[in-house]
Amino acid sequence: SQQREEDPQALSIQEGENATMNCSYKTSINNLQWYRQNSGRGLVHLILIRSNEREKHSGRLRVTLDTSKKSSSLLITASRAADTASYFCATRPDTGANSKLTFGKGITLSVRP
Amino acid sequence: EPEVTQTPSHQVTQMGQEVILRCVPISNHLYFYWYRQILGQKVEFLVSFYNNEISEKSEIFDDQFSVERPDGSNFTLKIRSTKLEDSAMYFCASTRERMLNGNTEAFFGQGTRLTVV
């Protein structure tokens, strides 16, 4: 299975600081995506990185992917209180017609004002 | 910006009752999905649907579950006889293309919180 591990499980930082969240996976992937979920709400797509990409930026977000280590990191720069949420990485496998995303348990980010 | 909408936002039902969760995917999307998230746990894939048939389902998606696209806009998840352990947040998602495409982003709805009592 594409067992996923994310670390840290919870992260608390001061507004303005950078937040780095990591995700590791076990099988070959087609792409890896990061999602945000505010408490009790839906999943919001943040960024997608393909298996042949190493780094991607979107606004204050920077995602890296190391397929040799089967890991990804999400960096949020200059964090804001509104960034407080749970962050999930999800992978799309590289095999067959499998169309599902496999999610991890998520990382809870708290940004203190 | 186009979005996936789900109704109701919260559904409370008695054990053994049937529930139907409704979703309106983004209008030009062709692939539809249901996921669920039990409180405090990871988001789990249930089923994917394309061209009016199930293309993939997980072991969670047993005979108690069914999906349907009754018209050109709605995509529904039915649970025939709910159990306590069906209590979860259910998310609908849609994509324009098959997830095999490396650029395909899945758009998720806000979810329906199902509480079985």
- Unique residue bearing structure tokens 């098959």: B98
A1 shares contact with chain B (CB less than 8 Å): no
A42 touches chain B (CB under 8 A): yes
Q: pLDDT tens digits for B20-41?
A: 999 999 988 889 999 999 988 8
Among A21-35, A61-75, B3-17, name the one with the lowest average pLDDT: A21-35
Residues of B in contact with A40 (CB under 8 A): 89, 113
Per-residue pLDDT, B61: 96
Residues of chain A in contact with residue B90, where contact means CB-CB under 8 angstroms, are: none
- Model pLDDT, residue A1: 47
Q: Are the C-beta atoms of B110 and B7 separated by less than 8 Å?
A: no
Residue of A nearest to B47 (CA): A100
| Chain position carrying tokens 């348990």 | A105
Write out the two tokens for B7: 């109704």
- Cα gap A23→A35, rounded to integer Å: 12
Of the pLDDT bands very low, low, confident and very high (cuts 50, 70, 90), residue A15 is: very high
DSSP secondary structure letter of residue B104: P
Of B41, B91, B104, the CB nearest to A43: B91
Distance CA A108, CA B97 (A): 31
Average pLDDT over residues A23-27: 90
Q: How confident is the model at residue B98 (pLDDT cuts 50, 70, 90)?
A: low
Does the beta carbon of A102 lie under 8 angstroms from any beta carbon of chain B?
A: yes
Neighboring chain A residues of B99 at a CB cutoff of 8 Å:
30, 92, 98-101
Whole-angstrom Cα distance, residue B44 to residue A103? 7
Show the tokens assigned to A113: 């004002």
Q: Write the residue in B42, B100, B103 that is nearest to A104 by C-beta.
A: B42
Average pLDDT over residues A86-103: 80
Which residues of B fall within a CB distance of 8 Å from A97?
A: 55-56, 98, 100
Q: Report whether the peptide linkage leading into residue A8 is cis, meaning its omega lies within 30 degrees of zero.
A: yes
What's the angle, vertex CA A88, arms to CA B50 and CA A40, rounded to 5? 85
Q: What integer is the mean pLDDT of A61-67? A: 97
Under the banding of pLDDT at 50, 70 and 90, the label for residue A27 is confident
The better pLDDT of the pair A31, A98 is held by A31
Secondary structure of B14-78 as H, E, C letters: CCCCCEEEEEECCCCCCEEEEEEECCCCCEEEEEEEECCEEEEECCCCCCCEEEECCCCCCEEEE
Q: Under DSSP, is residue B85 helix (H, G, I), strand (E, B) or coil?
A: helix
Residues in A closer than 8 angstroms to B100, CB to CB, are 30, 97, 99
Q: Please state, in angstroms and rounded to a whole number, the distance separating the CA atoms of residues B93 and A24.
A: 24
Of the residues B33, B96, B108, the best mutation for testing chain A's interface (the one with the most A CB atoms within 10 Å of its CB) is B108
**Looking at the predicted structure, is the pLDDT value of residue A93 above 70?**
yes
Measure the N-to-C terminal CA separation of chain A; round to a whole number of Å: 39
- The Cα angle at residue A89 between residues B85 and B23, in degrees rounded to 5: 55
Q: What is the mean pLDDT of chain B?
A: 91
DSSP for chain A, please give it. ----EEE-SEEEEETTS-EEEEEE-SS-EEEEEEEEE-TTS-EEEEEEEETT-SEEEETTEEEEEETTTTEEEEEE-S--GGG-EEEEEEEEESSTT----EE---EEEEEE-
pLDDT at A97 over 70: no
